[in-house]
């Protein structure tokens, strides 16, 4: 008999402003570093999801699977705090969704 499994997908999107960045090459270095840090710490799916051609705005999304909403909320709080501390860019927008 199968046990009913009710997993949740949590998705977060962060938008940062890096006013000191003056080229897409410089932006890519910051994005790649942030993505690597998030992937290494949380083993989540992380990708640049928007504003790829705007050199001072960084948009990164994080997705992960959790067994329940309580754990999703807790992990999202932790990931948000870590993401903000992992880069010098200013966090200007954040979205959270649990499906």
Give the tens place of pLDDT for each residue, 50-69.
888 888 999 999 999 999 99
Q: Note the Cα 75 to chain centre separation in Å.
A: 11
Give the tens place of pLDDT for each residue, 13-27.
999 999 999 999 999
Average pLDDT, the chain: 92
Burial state string for 16-32 with b = 16 or more CB within 10 A and e = fewer than 16? bebeebeeeeebeebbe
pTM given for the model: 0.86
Among 85, 88, 18, 83, residue whose Cα is nearest residue 96: 83
CATH superfamily name and code, 14-98 = TT1725-like (3.30.70.1120)
């Amino acid at each position: 008999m199968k046990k009913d499994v009710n997993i949740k997908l949590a998705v977060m999107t962060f938008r940062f402003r890096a006013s000191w960045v003056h080229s897409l090459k410089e932006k890519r270095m910051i994005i790649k570093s942030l993505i690597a840090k998030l992937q290494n710490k949380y083993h989540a799916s992380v990708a640049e999801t928007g504003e790829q051609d705007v050199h001072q705005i960084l948009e990164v999304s994080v997705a992960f699977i959790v067994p329940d909403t309580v754990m999703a909320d807790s992990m999202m709080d932790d990931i948000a705090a870590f993401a903000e501390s992992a880069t010098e860019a200013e966090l200007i927008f954040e979205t959270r969704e649990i499906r």
